[in-house]
Amino acid sequence: MSRRRWAAAAALAGVACATLLAGCADASYYWQSASGHLNLMRAARPVPQWLQDPSTSAALKAKLELTQRIRRFAVTELGLPDNASYTRYADLHRAAAVWNVVAAPPYSLTLKTWCFPIVGCVGYRGYYDEAAAKAEAASQTTQGLEAVVYPVPAYSTLGWMNWLGGDPLLSTFIGYPEGELARIVFHELAHQVLYVPGDTMFNESYATAVERIGGARWLRTQAGEAARAEYAQFDAQRQQFRALAADTRRVLSGIYDSREAKAQDWPAVEARKKAAMDEFRRRYAALRATWSGPRQGAYDGWVARANNALFGAQAAYDDLVPAFEALFEHEDENWPRFYAEVKRLAALPQDERVPALKAETATASTAARPAPDSDNHNNHGGPGA
């Protein structure tokens, strides 16, 4: 693309991306959203160029070749979009694509939402600069909320940027093990099939179900034994941690809906909350002691930062996953039928979607379904667990 054509494209992309990511936010947030995404796009080059470049390491070339096989599998086997996304790669020279800020009241797991055009109201606010994200989290804290910042390795522009090259592969996740790399591509492409403005839990649980089902198929039919073994070890730890976190969410929800909370006896609620968090960390330490290998401490940072905001963000990626997996079974594991039914549900009023989803799948067999989980994708992106 010529410099002039790129400038024109960049200007248009800036408007689109700023609208997508910043909306009616203040001018500085609007600018960082637009410029941050455009800088990411500028850094991306077509995968064939990286493969032909003699300075590209053999390890990176192998990963890039793997992503193209994963992308083709996503299109041919999972019915995901075949477009410009994930045909280019960018080295960002930083640890995350964006950093998300989430916030929640001291006695609730309900996330604060920020509202933007196109994407609607979402339970996070993304920044391309970690320091800016931390400043926003500090601001939320001064307003009496619990806040946390977590890194996001990838996000979806929902297909809006495909005319300018699509969502690129990034250095922030290219090094993931094979099974995780497949999952993140499937998750983000799933958002291009369907995104419902203002319903984070529906969107993220749906995309997580697609990544889980698709990831399992990839490992079963395309991956080697070493990749399957590597994934199995990590996923076993993840499932155990997710179960522990889900138990803690249930305990905290019960405390926040207790008689003490309804009577506004906040000292009593605070004491019970502290006991629940202490128990969460005690159980994590005991669980961690049973793990081994290089990822033994994978969740240490999550646990150290754990608060209502982080638990609330995790719930968005977890809570409806079993229902979407059941829906896939209900549709005879047929991807076009599954996507069509998800779109039908998405067209319902928001307060009717989840009851309709659960009612439709109530009789589906759950015996063969794995426990729900998600990763930090996303995102978009989950809260790093």
185 belongs to a structural domain: yes
**Is residue 255 within 8 Å of 269, Cβ to Cβ?**
yes
pLDDT at 128 over 50: yes
pLDDT at residue 383 in the model: 64
In sequence order, what are the residues at sequence separation of 6 or more whose Cβ sits closer than 8 angstroms to the Cβ of residue 369?
Answer: 322, 325, 326, 329
**Is residue 90 within 8 Å of 170, Cβ to Cβ?**
yes
Q: Can you give the residue range of the structural domain that contains 348?
A: 44-385
Of residues 8 and 186, more confidently modeled: 186
**Is residue 326 within 8 Å of 360, Cβ to Cβ?**
no
35 belongs to a structural domain: no
Mean pLDDT of 348-363: 90
What DSSP assignment string belongs to 323-359?
HHHHHHHHTTT-HHHHHHHHHHHHTS-HHHHHHHHHH
pLDDT at residue 3 in the model: 37
In sequence order, what are the residues at sequence separation of 6 or more whose Cβ sits closer than 8 angstroms to the Cβ of residue 231?
Answer: 177, 178, 179, 180, 219, 223
132 belongs to a structural domain: yes
Average pLDDT value over all residues in the chain: 88
**Is residue 44 within 8 Å of 89, Cβ to Cβ?**
yes
Mean pLDDT of 63-76: 98
pLDDT tier at 384, thresholds 50, 70, 90: low
32 belongs to a structural domain: no
pTM of the model: 0.85
pLDDT at 118 over 80: no
49 belongs to a structural domain: yes
Q: What is the DSSP letter of 25?
A: S
173-197: per-residue pLDDT in tens? Answer: 999 999 999 999 999 999 999 999 9
33 belongs to a structural domain: no
pLDDT at residue 16 in the model: 44
Mean pLDDT of 118-146: 93
Mean pLDDT lowest among 79-93, 168-182, 329-343, 362-376: 362-376
* CA distances from residue 162 to 85, 278, 376, 382 in whole angstroms, order as listed: 6, 46, 23, 23
* CA distances from residue 339 to 127, 297, 327, 358 in whole angstroms, order as listed: 31, 37, 10, 16
Count structural domains, the chain.
1
